[in-house]
Amino acid sequence: MATLPITKRGAELLKAELQRLKTQDRPAVIAAIAEARSHGDLSENAEYDAAKDRQGFIEGRIKEVEGKLAAAQIIDPATLHAGGRVVFGATVELEEEDSGEQVTYQIVGEDEADLKQGLINVGSPIGRALIGKEVGDTAEVQAPGGARHYEIIAVKYV
């Protein structure tokens, strides 16, 4: 199995989700199944069917999260020494060359990506375009509306 890069923060979030699934969600769905069983005839019991479906989802998610944590290569951005290059975990300040708009992104793994929070997937078009670049370099990103050019203003490892 290939390793899955993930930031320290992302690993902590996955561990917290796994803990919640095992200690809260799983017992709650087991109780819901028991409650639905007490109503009698299971063949026409929508509550029972819904609870069983929910149980299947929870068990699947538990297996998925455990697999991701087992394959995780946890990277703490604060300990990186990449000499100013953009690497996984780095926080990058960019300026869009045409509009002058400035944005800040952190390069993270697939599970952590959230554009609204400035977290972009290392495998996304912009993530791939930034990896390996340094301050002053220009990254060309193929966007649906055409190519966009970003100048790298700063690279931080926080």
User: What integer best gives the mean pLDDT of the chain?
Assistant: 90
pTM (2 d.p.)? 0.79
Query: Coil, strand or helix: which one is 47?
Result: helix
Burial class (CB in 10 A: 0-12, 13-18, 19+), 155: buried
Average pLDDT over residues 41-56: 87
pLDDT of 1 strictly over 80: no
Query: Coil, strand or helix: which one is 32?
Result: helix
Residue 37 pLDDT: 87
pLDDT of 54 strictly over 90: yes
Which has the closest alpha carbon to 67: 148, 115, 2? 2
Q: Report the Cα 15 to chain-centroid distance in Å.
A: 13
- The predicted-structure confidence for 69-110, as pLDDT tens digits, reads as follows 999 999 988 888 778 899 999 999 999 988 889 999 999 998
Neighbour tally for 43: CB within 10 Å: 7
Residue 150 pLDDT: 92
- The predicted-structure confidence for 126-156, as pLDDT tens digits, reads as follows 999 999 999 989 999 887 888 889 999 999 9
